[in-house]
Amino acid sequence: MTFLRTIMAACCVAALAAATPLRAENLADALRDAYHNSGLLDQNRALLRAADEDVAQSLAALRPIISWQAQASYAATSARPVESLTDNVSGTISLSANLLLADGGASALATEAQKELVLQTRESLVQVEQQVLFRAVDAYMAVRRASEFLALRQSNVRVITQELRAAEDRFEVGEVTRTDVSLAQARLAAARSQLAAAQGNLAQANEEFRAAVGRAPGQLAVVSPAEVQHDVAAARTFAVRRNPEVLAAQHAVAAAELNIKRAEAALNPSLRLNGSIGMNDEGDTSQNFGMTYGGTIYQGGQLASVIRQAQARRDSARATLLVTSQGVSQNVGNAYAILAVARAGREAADLQIRAARTAFRGVREEATLGARTTLDVLNAEQELLDAQANMISAQADEVVATYRVLATLGLLTAQHLRLGVQSYDPAAYYNLVNEAPAYYSQQGQALDRVLEAIGD
């Protein structure tokens, strides 16, 4: 009996497990996977790390440069015959150091300019994150749209099949003509063609989802539009201050300004400390220490040209900032306009569906009484189908439009959406390299471990 009760309990558990529906994945699930699986994000994170290293390299110009050199030479003359090969071989080994003490601030300005470029690259990474997440939203809604279209086309085929059977039955008793049957057959063939097209569209939507999210879609849950502010003017002001494209352009202007000062500082003299220690093959040593102070008097106009070039690039960066700000403001207006159209379309489609459904039911009832033709029924069914299709598109368009608004504001990020992912910290790697650690130092070895972890 105990064994029998165990078997029955196991069967009950299995039945309950089979009866429990699988949880439909929601949009947040897709966005999290898109964030984790994006090769585009990995690419731009690597570019950011490369920009971080530019800061370390510019800072290294203010550090001592220590180098060694070993030299061997062979000399032989006709007056002195060679008795042994080693007799005419001499060698020296030396260690030298060079330290820049002052250069008018050019090296320090170069470091500050690189820091601005790092900040610019960070904002570019935020913009890429927005592109990745928006593509995932668009792909998610495309799959839902294609799935609902497919279900609609399948239902349409079933309904028209029933209408065809009804027309054939009525033809058998002489209530309709062969023309009515042919019309129903033609509509059924068209419905099957549209069903095949819907299946193809769903397959393409699935492929786009796989590319955007990094995996195939499962059962996708219904998505509600994102919450966005209604004041378009306030949204424009916010976007011009917070959109990552605008912030990146601002840092580009700051870097260009610093590069002008850096070019002007190159006109100043520099002061260097240098020294060397050497020893030859006989054990004799030599030391040499000194300071070098000097600058360029004339270089064919190159220095002045570099300054003018930096000023031109500054002007270009300022113009880019203006164009970017105008483009962002325009994108905000466009996004809100698209959202308004989508909402109006959804409201109109809702009214259209209710009216078309009532009309279809009435025409079908009238057709059974002989007051309507088969063509009238098919046309009414097509009106209802079009209304339902419009509703599906309008609902998907509204969701996508709200996330487009977030993207124009610079808010379509994993942090703002609260996706619960381990966000990439753009400052973590910078903090490891901004002091330009040596290759064999403890911090340099820690960097090696970090890079190995990233590579895995």
Query: Residues 296-315: what's their mean pLDDT?
Result: 92
138-152, 354-368, 389-403, 427-441: least confident range = 427-441
pLDDT of residue 264: 92
Report residue 446's pLDDT band, with 50, 70 and 90 as the boundaries.
Answer: low
Query: Residues 435-444: what's their mean pLDDT?
Result: 69
pLDDT of residue 434: 78
SS3 readout for the chain? CHHHHHHHHHHHHHHHHHHCCCCCECHHHHHHHHHHHCHHHHHHHHHHHHHHHHHHHHHHCCCCEEEEEEEEEECCECCECCCCHHHHEEEEEEEEEEEEEECCCHHHHHHHHHHHHHHHHHHHHHHHHHHHHHHHHHHHHHHHHHHHHHHHHHHHHHHHHHHHHHHHHHHHCCCCCHHHHHHHHHHHHHHHHHHHHHHHHHHHHHHHHHHHHCCCCCCECCCCCCCCCCCHHHHHHHHHHHCHHHHHHHHHHHHHHHHHHHHHHCCCCEEEEEEEEEEECCCCEEEEEEEEEECCCCCCCHHHHHHHHHHHHHHHHHHHHHHHHHHHHHHHHHHHHHHHHHHHHHHHHHHHHHHHHHHHHHHHHHHHCCCCCHHHHHHHHHHHHHHHHHHHHHHHHHHHHHHHHHHHHCCCCHHHHCCCCCCCCHHHHHHHHCCCCCCCCHHHHHHHHHHHHHHC
111 vs 412: CA distance, rounded Å: 32
Q: Tell whether the model's pLDDT for residue 430 goes beyond 80.
A: yes
Average pLDDT, the chain: 86
pLDDT in tens, 40-89: 999 999 999 999 999 988 888 888 888 999 988 877 666 555 555 556 77
pLDDT of residue 30: 95
136 vs 214: CA distance, rounded Å: 10
pLDDT of residue 23: 63
Question: Which secondary-structure segment (H or E) carries 432?
Answer: helix 426-433
Q: Tell whether the model's pLDDT for residue 405 goes beyond 50.
A: yes
Q: For residues 275 and 14, which has the higher predicted lDDT (pLDDT)?
A: 275
Count of residues in the chain: 456
Report residue 453's pLDDT band, with 50, 70 and 90 as the boundaries.
Answer: low
At residue 444, what is the residue type?
Answer: G
Q: In the structure encoding, which two tokens stand for residue 197, read together?
A: 């097209």
Which of 339, 357, 338, 400 is closest to 145 using CA atoms? 400
Q: Which residues pair with 80 in a beta bridge?
A: 77
Q: Tell whether the model's pLDDT for residue 417 goes beyond 80.
A: yes
Q: Tell whether the model's pLDDT for residue 13 goes beyond 50.
A: no
pLDDT of residue 153: 87
Q: Tell whether the model's pLDDT for residue 10 goes beyond 60.
A: no
Q: Note whether 417 and 31 are within 8 A (CB).
A: yes
Q: Note whether 274 and 97 are within 8 A (CB).
A: yes
263, exposed or middle or buried, with CB in 10 Å at 0-12, 13-18, 19+?
buried
Q: For residues 22 and 322, which has the higher predicted lDDT (pLDDT)?
A: 322
For residue 89, give the 3-state DSSP assignment. Answer: strand
pTM of the model: 0.83
Query: Residues 296-317: what's their mean pLDDT?
Result: 92
Report residue 440's pLDDT band, with 50, 70 and 90 as the boundaries.
Answer: low
Give the sheet arrangement for strand 65-74, strand by strand: 65-74, 89-102, 270-280, 285-294
